[in-house]
Structure 1
């Protein structure tokens, strides 16, 4: 039996919940919660009026998520099954598309259960847990998933270590163990993924629409620089779209082998591409010394990164990074500016970019904008959940 307690909230949180926000903020509570994570919270205002039921789970600045506004609705396996069934019905067209076999099937608070995401990879399902609180629902979630769909196998990622480090563990949950790399399709492109190898799988599914745009609209005949390239997915899209050459730069040593793998499974000669294991900040300096410039630069840094000589925070440093990018972009070239930082919105992002261009006395126009793709379903009452911001910028 799950623990449950009544918690009184301040007016500020009462007002946010009344607008439909599912987030239980720490600053909105009358007192700290003295209970184990996973405890159900029956939220009331200072007059004792019922506001909703959620669970306690420390995640970033939040203390948990609202699950239901019906005080008579029990939260258990049957509740989760209903959430999953609705979420899966929203993705029906993806399940019926043989050219895309990797996508999100459950997107946390967007699908009614904050702190939990579920991704589909060619018959396998990957659960990601973002707090100890949501992880306490593991048994019910796994049972519900197995009841709702046929699963070849289920894997999981625990992402709730308070030190910001991935919790190493056996990621396998149930069903059959996969043979990795598992080759998935995305709009007909091949990508190698690993569900059993640390925090990342090898591809960021939220950038699917951006990769498709690069491939079909912008890459043909161009020289493309992919910074913070990870496993080179943007480079693959550009090469398949007819790019003259791609250059992939990432500090992680394993990025080279991973990028070679992604090129190879798409029939691309990786020897014809440049793959550099190098600090991106140093590469910018190198490119300027060598007078290198590119027709297209993909700028998709992590929200926070640390190397031996550099500490990067998207919220503080994106403007300066954009200035460096402008310097090595060809006249009338294209910059794909992207961030997954949830600490600022699209308006703030565009202001940061605009400042960089003004400081460089360079004119530009926004060609296209992208946010999360439709499988990353967002609750319109909680726009903060739409964290992805991508601008295609043309130098004038």
Structure 2
């Protein structure tokens, strides 16, 4: 069956079977007493193999990503304006996401019992007490006096800051040295991705072990929290999609109705493929034929958007992290929110183009480390990510076409988009 060829489908099936089997066996005296420790060890081993790639992969991707942005900036005024819009929209999305999800979780909290069961079943312990970080100590920690120690201690924000300094310094080197270093870190990133793909081949086994452990410990009590998670993250991505229509109308002077009709074919392809790259040819066609975007604008902006811009990335990734904080009883401070937003911005640019399962862990784990949220819940959330991922992709494609519309209207080399015709 085709569904069994999909890693996302296999992982989701493994999660379902593990929870069901664990709930059925839980409390049965015939079940060996050490089964929970064995399944937990298998799941933790798989998670450890996945986690070991995060630090080198994030560092390498940031170096390559900054180099790509630097090269793009030298391509002309339209490119610079596109990157400015990307940065503005991503920053705005981060601020609104934190405010919106905090309000949403306050108005619609996860059932305390379901949250407790999820955390205890996944980590083997009750939720930790709320953390507090003194602002002065946090501010001093931003300067990584020892980047190696920061990496060893999973101090992700100081490491990201060092990586950005390093990456921008690389762009100032003579061309032959810059190319050599960028190619080296590109190779490092590709190597880490190969390792992650190897580890993800065992994802059904790892998720089955973790969900079986969860089921043995707590039955099906965590199901409500997982459903809450799916609805919460999907709602954030849908909000991004809906926000693109008024933005196209206000700044691009294209009516919401026309914009909806123009981009519908690209959204359908995005929904079916869950890949912005695969949708790129259709996006270019929609922009040129349905939105009257000149070839030189569509041909530059849309590939650049697919390469370095995903508007749903910080929205969905922060939603995952804030959900984990919520069910874990962690109350982030302002400093932690700032750290999480900064890391979310950085990884949203650097991790574009990675396979879905790879980008989920690589994008979310650093934000968890920055805000102090446990990453042990990520494999279980990865298993149900197949539904939110659809809305992630549709949101990215919609945002890419919206930005192209804005830049087309502002491009001095072309006429303003023609009004609608009957």
Fold shared per TM-score above 0.5: no
Name the structure where strand makes up a greater proportion of residues: 1
Higher helix residue share: 2
Higher normalized contact order (CA 8 Å, seq sep 6+, divided by chain length): 2
TM-score (norm 1): 0.27
Q: So what's the TM-score if we normalise by structure 2?
A: 0.26
